[in-house]
Amino acid sequence: MKFTAALAAAERRHDSMLCVGLDPEPAKFPGAWKGDADRIHDFCAAIVDATKDLVSAFKPQIAYFAAQRAEDQLERLMAHIRRVAPDVPVILDAKRGDIGSTAAQYAREAFERYQADAVTLSPLMGFDSIEPWLRYDGKGLILLCRTSNPGGSDLQAQKLADGTPLFEHIAQLAAGPWNRNGQLGLVVGATYPEEIARVREIAPTLPLLIPGVGAQGGDAAATVRAGWRGDAGGTTSGPIIVNSSRAILYASSGADFASAARAAAQATRRQLAAAR
């Protein structure tokens, strides 16, 4: 199933726009696991098992695995998700941005080694940094557009000669000439709901990956109002993927960490649904 179709199906099936980000920090692990990088897979798998019926996607961040020499655990985790939650798409948060044969190797890593359904990319080097990824039919390519960090304004809010902010230009390209196979989506931060609304105007049907809800302080209700589009029956025509990581992963530092993560995920899911 193509990423966009799998995403829409998971949203309907689980009545959810929530994405759980898997950013494992061993220093924050519970109990005897604290500080033990060999438990990265076990920790993340427990979170997946506890929340798999509450989410529309999972989003492992590759740096948290690579920094701990835990790429093999990421491979095992991806296989675990496919086994226990085959209907939930997995977005590999890698933010790659390169051209030519190097981009082709990064794509091979994401889609062949890790078997991701989608990946985050930086579009700064232009279309030829996106093109090698488009060769993987049905995979999602989610381009950085208006990110949730304050420093994003250093470039993304700068205006081109015609007065268009750079993030709007990226959205125009993603919704238009770059989206040759219907594979593209955009990253827009929950900390900027007005910009989410503007991006949604430009790209009314593209999936929007929205980080920043939870520990970063983004408003869940404002995020949904700005970005989600659908009918009265809840069928989406413009899906959003609202990511929360730390607020769910580390809801408890005790033996009940998985059940606490589930409770936190349920609460966020309810907030999002109420806003819709």
Domain boundaries, given as residue ranges, for the chain: 3-275
Residue 127's pLDDT band, with cuts at 50, 70 and 90, is very high
Nearest Cα neighbor of 82 from 108, 107, 60 is: 60
Residue 185 near residue 209, CB atoms below 8 Å: yes
What is the set of active-site residues?
A: 95
pTM assigned to the model: 0.94
The answer to whether residues 118 and 185 touch, using CB atoms and an 8 Å cutoff, is yes
Banded model confidence at residue 7, pLDDT cuts 50, 70, 90: very high
Q: Which two tokens stand for residue 207?
A: 């999936």
Among 130-144, 163-177, 179-193, 210-224, which is the least confidently predicted range? 210-224
- pLDDT tens sequence across 150-202: 899 999 999 999 999 999 999 999 999 999 999 999 999 988 889 999 999 99
Angle at 182 between CA 118 and CA 100, to 5 degrees: 65
Query: Residue 140: which pLDDT band, with cuts at 50, 70 and 90?
Result: very high
Residue 135 CB neighbours (<10 A):
12
- Do residues 60 and 272 lie in contact, with contact meaning Cβ atoms separated by under 8 Å? no
Instruction: Pick left, alpha or beta for residue 126 (phi over 0 → left; psi -120 to 50 → alpha; otherwise beta).
Output: left
Assess whether pLDDT exceeds 90 at residue 95.
yes
Cα dist. 151→57, 67, 132, 155, 157 in Å?
27, 23, 28, 8, 10
Q: Share the mean pLDDT of the chain.
A: 93
Fold of 3-275: TIM Barrel (3.20.20)
CA dihedral 188, 189, 192, 197 (to 10 degrees): 30
Q: How confident is residue 119, by pLDDT bands cut at 50, 70 and 90? A: very high
